[in-house]
């Protein structure tokens, strides 16, 4: 699935993604400043998360409750120096909890990401819109 959207259309794009047969583990691949966190916030809004405020850059993971009572973990792995740091924080327990896991910078833990996941690749287009590919 491929979607091109402007920031004004981000909630519609998030709805389209959630309407797909996506896995509970979703990785987000994009460069710095492309809008991974912004898109994750849009997904969370569509899931009924009310209290999402910031990226977990310094805490590595934030936990939110969805409207239907599910748990959403939002990871920002940018600051990790090694996979062993992620393993030490118990990242595998989060990934195999059955809860939603949205993961920014999954490249930092390539050997820890479950095989059965959905990957979203984002890129900024010259006109300022974003292209999103879901696999």
**Structural domain includes residue 64:** yes
- Model confidence at 50, in pLDDT bands (50, 70, 90)? confident
The answer, yes or no, to whether residue 34 has pLDDT greater than 70, is yes
Positive or negative, the CA dihedral 88, 73, 95, 42 is negative
**What CATH number has the domain bearing residue 78?**
3.40.50.300
Helices and strands in the chain: count of H runs, count of E runs:
4, 7
Exposed e or buried b per residue across 44-66, where buried means at least 16 C-beta atoms within 10 angstroms of its C-beta: bbbbebeebeebbeeebbbebeb
**Structural domain includes residue 13:** no
Q: Average pLDDT over the chain, rounded to whole?
A: 94
Number of domains in the chain: 1
The answer, yes or no, to whether residue 102 has pLDDT greater than 70, is yes
* Total-model pTM: 0.93
Q: In terms of residue numbers, what domain contains 40?
A: 22-121
Which one has a higher pLDDT value, 56 or 101? 101
pLDDT score for 53: 63
**Structural domain includes residue 133:** no
CB atoms within 10 A of CB 124: 14
Tens-digit pLDDT profile for residues 82-95: 999 999 999 999 99
**Structural domain includes residue 104:** yes
Which one has a higher pLDDT value, 59 or 17? 17
**Structural domain includes residue 52:** yes
Mean pLDDT, rounded, for 22-45 = 96
């Amino acid at each position: 699935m491929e979607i091109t959207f402007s920031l004004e259309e981000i909630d519609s794009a998030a709805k389209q993604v959630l309407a797909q047969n996506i896995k509970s583990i979703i990785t987000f691949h994009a460069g710095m400043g492309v809008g991974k966190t912004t898109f994750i916030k849009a997904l969370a809004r569509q899931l009924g998360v009310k209290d999402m405020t910031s990226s977990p850059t310094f805490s590595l993971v934030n936990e939110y409750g969805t409207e239907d009572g599910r748990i959403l973990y939002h990871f920002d792995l940018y600051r990790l120096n090694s996979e062993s740091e992620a393993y030490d924080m118990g990242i595998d327990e989060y990934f195999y909890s059955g809860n939603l896991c949205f993961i920014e910078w999954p490249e930092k833990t390539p050997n820890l990401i479950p095989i059965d996941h959905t990957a979203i690749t984002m890129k900024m287009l010259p006109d300022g819109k974003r292209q999103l590919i879901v696999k």
